[in-house]
Protein backbone atom coordinates (compact mmCIF):
# COMPACT_ATOMS: atom_id res chain seq x y z
CA UNK A 1 0.00 0.00 0.00
CA UNK A 2 1.21 3.45 -0.87
CA UNK A 3 1.26 5.88 2.02
CA UNK A 4 1.02 9.50 1.00
CA UNK A 5 1.51 12.37 3.44
CA UNK A 6 -1.76 14.24 3.45
CA UNK A 7 -2.13 17.95 2.82
CA UNK A 8 -5.26 20.11 2.72
CA UNK A 9 -5.40 23.28 0.62
CA UNK A 10 -8.97 24.41 1.21
CA UNK A 11 -9.85 25.04 4.85
CA UNK A 12 -12.20 27.54 6.49
CA UNK A 13 -12.03 28.67 10.09
CA UNK A 14 -14.41 30.98 11.96
CA UNK A 15 -12.74 33.85 10.10
CA UNK A 16 -15.16 32.87 7.32
CA UNK A 17 -18.85 33.74 7.67
CA UNK A 18 -19.79 30.04 7.61
CA UNK A 19 -16.75 28.54 9.41
CA UNK A 20 -17.48 26.80 12.69
CA UNK A 21 -14.05 26.09 14.27
CA UNK A 22 -11.26 28.43 15.22
CA UNK A 23 -7.76 28.28 13.76
CA UNK A 24 -6.24 26.74 16.86
CA UNK A 25 -8.65 23.79 17.11
CA UNK A 26 -8.40 23.24 13.34
CA UNK A 27 -4.62 22.98 13.64
CA UNK A 28 -4.91 20.61 16.62
CA UNK A 29 -7.27 18.34 14.70
CA UNK A 30 -4.92 18.38 11.67
CA UNK A 31 -2.03 17.27 13.86
CA UNK A 32 -4.17 14.52 15.37
CA UNK A 33 -4.90 13.28 11.86
CA UNK A 34 -1.20 13.49 10.91
CA UNK A 35 -1.84 16.05 8.23
CA UNK A 36 1.47 17.51 7.10
CA UNK A 37 0.38 20.88 5.76
CA UNK A 38 -2.81 22.95 5.68
CA UNK A 39 -3.72 26.15 3.95
CA UNK A 40 -6.51 28.24 5.41
CA UNK A 41 -8.58 29.73 2.60
CA UNK A 42 -11.06 32.12 4.19
CA UNK A 43 -13.96 33.51 2.21
CA UNK A 44 -13.40 36.98 0.84
CA UNK A 45 -15.33 39.23 -1.50
CA UNK A 46 -15.22 42.87 -2.51
CA UNK A 47 -18.73 42.61 -3.97
CA UNK A 48 -21.26 44.10 -1.51
CA UNK A 49 -23.88 41.64 -2.81
CA UNK A 50 -21.89 38.65 -1.51
CA UNK A 51 -22.54 37.14 1.93
CA UNK A 52 -18.86 37.28 2.83
CA UNK A 53 -18.53 41.00 2.04
CA UNK A 54 -16.95 42.84 4.97
CA UNK A 55 -16.70 39.72 7.14
CA UNK A 56 -12.97 38.97 7.13
CA UNK A 57 -10.77 40.91 9.55
CA UNK A 58 -7.46 40.42 7.78
CA UNK A 59 -5.23 41.57 10.63
CA UNK A 60 -7.00 39.33 13.15
CA UNK A 61 -6.65 36.45 10.65
CA UNK A 62 -2.94 37.19 10.26
CA UNK A 63 -2.40 37.31 14.04
CA UNK A 64 -4.12 33.97 14.53
CA UNK A 65 -2.11 32.36 11.73
CA UNK A 66 1.15 33.72 13.19
CA UNK A 67 0.28 32.41 16.65
CA UNK A 68 -0.59 28.97 15.29
CA UNK A 69 2.62 28.86 13.25
CA UNK A 70 4.64 29.56 16.38
CA UNK A 71 2.73 27.09 18.52
CA UNK A 72 2.68 24.16 16.05
CA UNK A 73 5.94 24.82 14.20
CA UNK A 74 7.30 21.32 14.83
CA UNK A 75 4.17 19.49 13.79
CA UNK A 76 2.31 21.29 11.04
CA UNK A 77 3.05 23.59 8.14
CA UNK A 78 0.40 26.34 8.09
CA UNK A 79 -0.27 28.55 5.08
CA UNK A 80 -2.41 31.67 4.79
CA UNK A 81 -4.76 31.86 1.84
CA UNK A 82 -8.08 33.20 0.67
CA UNK A 83 -10.98 31.89 -1.33
CA UNK A 84 -12.05 34.94 -3.29
CA UNK A 85 -15.55 34.96 -4.74
CA UNK A 86 -15.81 36.24 -8.33
CA UNK A 87 -12.36 37.84 -8.41
CA UNK A 88 -12.88 38.72 -12.09
CA UNK A 89 -15.62 41.33 -11.78
CA UNK A 90 -14.42 44.44 -13.58
CA UNK A 91 -16.48 46.83 -11.42
CA UNK A 92 -14.60 45.77 -8.28
CA UNK A 93 -11.17 45.10 -9.79
CA UNK A 94 -9.50 48.23 -8.37
CA UNK A 95 -10.72 47.52 -4.84
CA UNK A 96 -9.52 43.95 -5.03
CA UNK A 97 -6.14 44.96 -6.40
CA UNK A 98 -5.69 47.52 -3.64
CA UNK A 99 -6.66 45.02 -0.97
CA UNK A 100 -4.34 42.31 -2.31
CA UNK A 101 -1.49 44.83 -2.54
CA UNK A 102 -1.52 45.06 1.26
CA UNK A 103 -1.52 41.33 1.95
CA UNK A 104 1.12 38.64 2.26
CA UNK A 105 -0.87 35.63 1.16
CA UNK A 106 0.52 32.24 0.27
CA UNK A 107 -2.32 31.13 -1.95
CA UNK A 108 -5.53 32.34 -3.61
CA UNK A 109 -8.44 30.22 -4.77
CA UNK A 110 -10.83 31.88 -7.23
CA UNK A 111 -14.40 30.65 -6.91
CA UNK A 112 -17.73 31.36 -8.55
CA UNK A 113 -20.42 31.44 -5.85
CA UNK A 114 -22.69 33.98 -7.59
CA UNK A 115 -23.58 34.94 -11.14
CA UNK A 116 -24.46 38.62 -11.65
CA UNK A 117 -24.54 38.97 -7.88
CA UNK A 118 -27.10 36.17 -7.45
CA UNK A 119 -26.31 33.01 -5.43
CA UNK A 120 -26.04 29.89 -7.58
CA UNK A 121 -29.00 28.18 -5.91
CA UNK A 122 -31.20 31.17 -6.81
CA UNK A 123 -29.61 31.78 -10.20
CA UNK A 124 -30.77 28.35 -11.38
CA UNK A 125 -34.47 28.97 -10.66
CA UNK A 126 -36.73 28.66 -13.73
CA UNK A 127 -33.81 27.79 -16.00
CA UNK A 128 -33.37 24.69 -18.13
CA UNK A 129 -30.65 22.21 -17.18
CA UNK A 130 -28.42 23.00 -20.15
CA UNK A 131 -28.46 26.76 -19.43
CA UNK A 132 -27.83 26.32 -15.72
CA UNK A 133 -24.61 24.43 -16.32
CA UNK A 134 -23.56 26.27 -19.48
CA UNK A 135 -23.92 29.76 -17.97
CA UNK A 136 -22.09 28.63 -14.85
CA UNK A 137 -19.15 27.37 -16.95
CA UNK A 138 -19.21 30.61 -18.96
CA UNK A 139 -18.79 32.54 -15.71
CA UNK A 140 -15.87 30.29 -14.73
CA UNK A 141 -14.30 31.03 -18.12
CA UNK A 142 -14.51 34.78 -17.45
CA UNK A 143 -12.70 34.22 -14.16
CA UNK A 144 -10.08 32.03 -15.85
CA UNK A 145 -9.46 34.75 -18.45
CA UNK A 146 -8.57 37.65 -16.18
CA UNK A 147 -8.45 36.90 -12.45
CA UNK A 148 -5.27 37.09 -10.37
CA UNK A 149 -5.62 33.69 -8.70
CA UNK A 150 -3.57 30.54 -8.16
CA UNK A 151 -6.25 27.90 -8.77
CA UNK A 152 -9.85 27.62 -9.90
CA UNK A 153 -11.91 26.48 -6.89
CA UNK A 154 -14.43 23.66 -7.10
CA UNK A 155 -14.91 23.81 -10.86
CA UNK A 156 -18.35 22.30 -11.64
CA UNK A 157 -19.80 22.95 -8.16
CA UNK A 158 -23.01 23.96 -9.93
CA UNK A 159 -23.92 20.27 -9.75
CA UNK A 160 -24.17 20.56 -5.96
CA UNK A 161 -27.20 22.84 -6.38
CA UNK A 162 -28.63 21.49 -9.62
CA UNK A 163 -28.34 17.79 -8.75
CA UNK A 164 -31.61 17.33 -6.81
CA UNK A 165 -33.81 18.83 -9.51
CA UNK A 166 -31.84 18.24 -12.72
CA UNK A 167 -29.25 15.58 -12.00
CA UNK A 168 -25.59 15.61 -12.88
CA UNK A 169 -24.38 17.03 -16.18
CA UNK A 170 -22.59 15.24 -19.04
CA UNK A 171 -19.29 16.82 -19.99
CA UNK A 172 -20.02 16.24 -23.68
CA UNK A 173 -22.97 18.67 -23.42
CA UNK A 174 -20.56 21.45 -22.40
CA UNK A 175 -17.34 20.20 -23.98
CA UNK A 176 -16.52 23.43 -25.84
CA UNK A 177 -16.65 25.73 -22.84
CA UNK A 178 -14.93 23.21 -20.55
CA UNK A 179 -12.08 22.77 -23.04
CA UNK A 180 -11.80 26.56 -23.31
CA UNK A 181 -11.53 26.89 -19.53
CA UNK A 182 -8.85 24.19 -19.34
CA UNK A 183 -6.84 25.66 -22.21
CA UNK A 184 -7.05 29.13 -20.70
CA UNK A 185 -5.85 28.08 -17.25
CA UNK A 186 -3.02 26.02 -18.73
CA UNK A 187 -1.96 29.02 -20.79
CA UNK A 188 -2.13 31.36 -17.76
CA UNK A 189 -0.48 28.79 -15.41
CA UNK A 190 -3.50 28.81 -13.12
CA UNK A 191 -4.09 25.47 -11.42
CA UNK A 192 -7.14 23.38 -10.83
CA UNK A 193 -8.34 22.59 -7.35
CA UNK A 194 -9.69 19.12 -6.61
CA UNK A 195 -12.35 19.84 -4.01
CA UNK A 196 -13.37 16.77 -2.01
CA UNK A 197 -16.51 18.24 -0.45
CA UNK A 198 -18.79 16.85 -3.17
CA UNK A 199 -18.05 13.37 -1.79
CA UNK A 200 -20.04 14.31 1.32
CA UNK A 201 -22.99 15.51 -0.74
CA UNK A 202 -25.73 13.62 -2.67
CA UNK A 203 -23.84 14.23 -5.90
CA UNK A 204 -21.10 12.02 -4.41
CA UNK A 205 -18.18 13.03 -6.60
CA UNK A 206 -15.29 15.44 -6.48
CA UNK A 207 -15.38 18.94 -8.02
CA UNK A 208 -14.43 18.80 -10.86
CA UNK A 209 -15.46 15.32 -11.95
CA UNK A 210 -12.76 12.83 -12.88
CA UNK A 211 -13.45 13.14 -16.65
CA UNK A 212 -12.46 16.82 -16.47
CA UNK A 213 -9.21 15.90 -14.74
CA UNK A 214 -8.53 13.45 -17.57
CA UNK A 215 -9.13 16.17 -20.18
CA UNK A 216 -6.91 18.53 -18.21
CA UNK A 217 -4.11 15.97 -18.22
CA UNK A 218 -4.52 15.22 -21.94
CA UNK A 219 -4.22 18.95 -22.66
CA UNK A 220 -0.96 19.08 -20.71
CA UNK A 221 -2.29 20.47 -17.42
CA UNK A 222 -0.34 19.53 -14.32
CA UNK A 223 -1.07 22.11 -11.62
CA UNK A 224 -3.42 20.51 -9.10
CA UNK A 225 -4.20 21.20 -5.45
CA UNK A 226 -6.37 19.08 -3.16
CA UNK A 227 -8.74 20.56 -0.59
CA UNK A 228 -11.47 19.33 1.74
CA UNK A 229 -13.35 22.67 1.84
CA UNK A 230 -13.79 21.87 5.51
CA UNK A 231 -15.85 24.34 7.57
CA UNK A 232 -15.36 22.55 10.91
CA UNK A 233 -12.25 20.94 12.33
CA UNK A 234 -13.68 17.38 12.36
CA UNK A 235 -13.84 17.29 8.58
CA UNK A 236 -10.27 18.39 7.92
CA UNK A 237 -8.62 16.33 5.17
CA UNK A 238 -11.27 13.62 5.52
CA UNK A 239 -10.98 12.38 1.91
CA UNK A 240 -7.73 14.02 0.83
CA UNK A 241 -5.59 10.89 1.21
CA UNK A 242 -7.73 8.72 -1.04
CA UNK A 243 -8.04 11.50 -3.63
CA UNK A 244 -4.27 12.04 -3.64
CA UNK A 245 -3.87 8.31 -4.30
CA UNK A 246 -6.42 8.49 -7.11
CA UNK A 247 -4.56 11.42 -8.67
CA UNK A 248 -1.36 9.43 -8.54
CA UNK A 249 -3.04 6.46 -10.22
CA UNK A 250 -4.22 8.81 -12.97
CA UNK A 251 -0.58 9.47 -13.78
CA UNK A 252 0.02 12.81 -12.06
CA UNK A 253 3.35 12.67 -10.23
CA UNK A 254 2.67 15.56 -7.90
CA UNK A 255 0.18 18.09 -6.65
CA UNK A 256 1.20 21.58 -5.57
CA UNK A 257 1.74 23.58 -2.41
CA UNK A 258 2.22 27.36 -2.31
CA UNK A 259 4.26 29.87 -0.38
CA UNK A 260 4.00 33.60 -1.04
CA UNK A 261 2.00 32.58 -4.11
CA UNK A 262 4.88 30.58 -5.59
CA UNK A 263 4.16 26.95 -6.21
CA UNK A 264 6.25 23.92 -5.36
CA UNK A 265 5.54 20.34 -6.44
CA UNK A 266 4.53 17.96 -3.67
CA UNK A 267 5.50 14.50 -4.89
CA UNK A 268 2.88 11.80 -4.58
Q: By CB under 5 A, how many residues form the interface with Zn ion? A: 3
To the nearest whole angstrom, how small is the minimum distance from the Cβ of residue 158 to Zn ion?
Answer: 12
When CB distances to Zn ion are compared, the closest residue is 111
134: left (phi over 0), alpha (psi -120 to 50) or beta: alpha
Map the footprint of Zn ion across residues 72-91, applying CB under 5 A.
83
Contact 199, 159 (CB under 8 A): no
Least distance (Å) between residue 83 CB and Zn ion: 5
* Least CB distance to Zn ion at residue 172 (A): 26
Sites for Zn ion among residues 18-77 (CB under 5 A): none
Closest distance of CB 168 from Zn ion, Å: 19
Q: What is the closest distance, in whole angstroms, from the C-beta atom of residue 159 to Zn ion in the complex? A: 14
Between 57 and 94, name the residue whose CB sits nearer to Zn ion: 57
| CB nearer to Zn ion: pick between 122 and 219 | 122
Of the candidate spans 20-28, 62-70, 100-108, 111-119, the one that interacts with Zn ion by CB under 5 A turns out to be 111-119
d(CA 252, CA 241): 15
Nearer to Zn ion, 28 or 52 (CB): 52
Number of other residues whose CB lies within 10 A of the CB of residue 194: 29
Instruction: Closer to Zn ion by CB, 111 or 233: give it.
Output: 111
d(CA 152, CA 150): 7
Nearer to Zn ion by C-beta: 51 or 268?
Answer: 51
Task: Give, as ranges, the residues between 210 and 239 that touch Zn ion (CB under 5 A).
Answer: 229
* Angle at the Cα of 95 from the Cα atoms of 93 and 98, rounded to 5 degrees: 105
Smallest gap, in angstroms, from Cβ of residue 10 to Zn ion?
Answer: 6
Residue placing its CB nearer to Zn ion in the complex, 50 or 83: 83
| Contact between residue 19 and residue 61 where contact means Cβ atoms under 8 Å apart | no
Q: List the one residue from 111, 225, 228, 235 that touches Zn ion (CB under 5 A).
A: 111
Exposure string for 212-235, b = 16+ CB within 10 A, e = fewer: bbebbbeeebbbbbbbbbbbbbeb
Judged by the rule CB under 5 A, the positions of this chain that interact with Zn ion are 83, 111, 229
Amino acid sequence: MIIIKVIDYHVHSDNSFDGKSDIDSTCQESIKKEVQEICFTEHFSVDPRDVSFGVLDYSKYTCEINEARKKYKKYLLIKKGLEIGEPHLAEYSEELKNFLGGTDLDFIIGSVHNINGVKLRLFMKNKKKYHIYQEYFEEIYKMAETADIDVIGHLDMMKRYAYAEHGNYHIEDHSGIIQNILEKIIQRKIGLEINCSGLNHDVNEIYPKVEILKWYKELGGEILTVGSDSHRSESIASKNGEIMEMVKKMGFQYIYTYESRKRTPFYL
